[in-house]
Structure 1
Amino acid sequence: MARNLFLAATALCGGLLMAPQAGNAQTAIDSLGLTVTTTPAITSDYLFRGLSQTRGRPAAQVTVDAEHSSGFYVGAFVSNVAFAGTNARQEIDYNAGYRFALGDLKLDIGGTYYTYPGYTALRGGFDINFYEFALRTSYEVAPVKFVGLAAWSPNFSGESGTGVYVEGGFDMALDYGFTISPRLGYQWVERNIAPRTGSRDGYFGTPDYMTLSLSVSREIFGGFIGTGTVVWNSMNQSSGRSECFGSTKACDSRALVTLSRPF
């Protein structure tokens, strides 16, 4: 699994985008009008919208973003995963879109295809690959940058039907190089739990839920950024663990630490 993960990361970084890495935060390729950013990271737990994708275990990840001077961009994300009751062991996401500004308001309109190479659905199971479209916004009033996200999928993970996610928050620069980043999000899914016997419809595995997180980050040394995050999910307070993917701990509130290094 680890070998396949790092081979995939190498292919994405070196082949898909055809861009060399460098020791600064961004690499400009003037002849092509491209700016490439590569960010490897290790984290004590991989969370996606407040839910653990590794059952509370560490993850090694890499994100690649190549943006043209016109505002169009492509990118990819690679991580290990571990979903209970499945053979899913790695995730590779592909994204593309367009970034532009309206005055001081910055917007990002794009789409992402979430894939899990090697995953095989059990008999009667459903596909966990899915794609969604998203609008991201940011508006800065120094030292605060307000951010927002609205995402829509016509067929969310597990063939669960329409999925909608909204999130808002801000990043605020503090003294001594610290940045604080609170986020509040809500996930809706058309089909949350297993339908009646005999139905061929897929489902997600949790009720709709709210997630609240608070991150504190700071450059530690040589461009390495350390981030500590605490996450709370509404399912822990209202629905209980029994409605979290068949009584797993993926929905529990938790704390995690991440070390990343943009190139």
Structure 2
Amino acid sequence: MTLAAPIALRLRRRLTRLRLTTLAAAIVAGLGFGVAAPARAQVDLGAGLSLTGTVAGTTDYLFRGISQTRNRPTVQGTLELSHESGVYIGAFLSGVAFQGGYDARQELDLTAGYRFEIGPVKFDTYVIGYTYPGYTAQPGFQELAYLEVGARGTIELGDFTLTAAANYSPNYFGRSGSGVYIEGGVDYKVPVLELVLSGRLGYQFIERPARFGITPDSYLYYGVSVSREIAYGITASVGYYGTDLSERECGGLKICNSRFLASLTLKF
């Protein structure tokens, strides 16, 4: 069974529900979400290997527009070991706090991928394992860990960077069935002020939304941000993020509401 037709139909329906003013603002700003990822420092280990990493403090942990920390701040970190061939492995660690009795307190994502270029386009293909160390599903609760495979393409056009990505999970968060996520975005480097203006617009389809915790089986995710490296490898960013889910559609919770988010990231 192909997902393309139902996904396209649901996307058209959801687009009509999104407030036109919000959608227009997201598109003008560069197709939606996101704080641009700061450039990471690189440590040469020899034999074609290099190590990069970041540590960040953020006022919230948003994943595709939904808070993973109940609208609270947290600390995050990344580490990546890459080879000049394009092969890499990486990890992402963050605090989490879910509603409804789930006692997970941290998220550890493990990634393996391959980067390559075809002409001016840079590609990144990857597998991500989302895990929640210390969490054990009790009776009546679902397992949280899941896998995604995905691909991302990026092209630079002067001061603009265009990106598009697609991810697929055979059994998404909370054992909610097939999950498909598509995203497009733009980053713009302001030459004079050394700012990066960013935007993303994403669409998430979930086969069994009730297990995920929402009413509809899909939603839109958008946001705009500005970031700047200030000193000593530290990048500051601030943005505005949201989804087209109402509080009622989000299980009566405020974790899907629009919000501002700020972060400081140290690269090492």
TM-score, with normalisation over the residues of structure 2?
0.82
Count of residues in Structure 1 that have an aligned counterpart in Structure 2: 225
1:262 and 2:267 aligned: yes
Three-state SS of the structure 1 residue aligned to 2:248 is helix
Instruction: Give the Å deviation of 1:118.
Output: 1.3
1:166 and 2:182 aligned: yes
Distance in 1 (alpha carbons) for counterparts of 2:79 and 2:225: 22
1:26 and 2:26 aligned: no
Q: Aligned to 1:46, which of 61, 64, 83?
A: 61
Aligned-residue sequence identity (percent) comes to 45
Instruction: Tell me: higher relative CO, structure 1 or 2? Use CA pairs within 8 A at least 6 residues apart.
Output: 2
Q: Aligned to 1:181, which of 194, 198, 208?
A: 198
Moved over 4 A (4+): none
AA in 2 matched with 1:117: P
1:78 and 2:93 aligned: yes
1:210 and 2:220 aligned: yes
Distance in 2 (alpha carbons) for counterparts of 1:37 and 1:223: 12
Instruction: Give the Å deviation of 1:142.
Output: 1.1
Q: Aligned to 2:252, which of 236, 247, 251?
A: 247
| Deviation by residue 1:178-201 (Cα, 9 ceiling, x = unmatched) | 0001100000000112xxxxxxxx
Instruction: Give the Å deviation of 1:253.
Output: 0.7
Aligned to 1:150: 166
1:192 and 2:209 aligned: yes
Distance in 2 (alpha carbons) for counterparts of 1:165 and 1:42: 26
**What runs of 5+ residues in structure 1 fail to find an aligned partner?**
1-23, 194-202
Q: Aligned to 2:83, which of 43, 55, 68?
A: 68
**What runs of 5+ residues in structure 2 fail to find an aligned partner?**
1-39
Aligned to 1:3: none
Aligned to 1:18: none
Distance in 2 (alpha carbons) for counterparts of 1:228 and 1:254: 11
Aligned to 1:232: 242
Instruction: Give the Å deviation of 1:132.
Output: 0.4
Three-state SS of the structure 1 residue aligned to 2:141 is coil
Instruction: Give the Å deviation of 1:232.
Output: 2.1
Instruction: Give the Å deviation of 1:121.
Output: 2.0
Three-state SS of the structure 2 residue aligned to 1:220 is strand
Distance in 1 (alpha carbons) for counterparts of 2:138 and 2:254: 21
Pairwise mapping of residues 132-147 of structure 1 onto structure 2 (< 5 A)?
132-147=148-163
Distance in 2 (alpha carbons) for counterparts of 1:242 and 1:118: 30
AA in 1 matched with 2:232: G
Distance in 1 (alpha carbons) for counterparts of 2:93 and 2:176: 23
AA in 1 matched with 2:212: F
CA RMSD across the alignment = 1.0
TM-score, with normalisation over the residues of structure 1?
0.84
